[in-house]
Amino acid sequence: MLTWKEVINFSVNGNPTPDKRVEKTEAEWRAQLTPEQFRITRQKGTERAHTGELCTAYDEGKYNCVCCDTPLFDSTIKFSSGTGWPSFTQPIKENAIKYEKDTAFGMVRVEVMCNTCDGHLGHVFPDGPEPSGLRYCVNSESMILDKEIA
């Protein structure tokens, strides 16, 4: 289980190696993604709070990167944070997420991205529930829910 200390370590000293890499040109990403998905994942945008389709979805399944279909989060670790964005306590695998220090807008935060394709997901904060204490605050537009068949 990842801790805040490990998240900070990754953001400062480098990230775990992903299982694979997906790299495309800007034109290829634009052709594949909707304009809003492109704005959020490739230009580090943010959707307005409480507007994302996945914010209130609690179906069983895996939350995959909308850009490269890499599994990022599992529905079993999703929780209602009240922030207006889907929130998770842990990534599906330690090397699924890439972490970078973000000092935009006069704040110091830790940006989270897909470690496979560098798609912007959102940010992680140390104010989540136990046992990890982490809150991955993720844009709905950056993920697709791959529902498991019971």
Q: Which of 13, 20, 41, 23 is nearest to 99 (CA)?
A: 13
Assigned token pair, 56: 């209130």
The alpha-helical segments, DSSP class H, found in the chain are 4-13, 26-32, 35-43
Assigned token pair, 137: 């605050």
**86 prior amide bond cis, ω within 30:** no
Q: Is 117 a catalytic residue?
A: no
Enzyme catalytic residues: 137
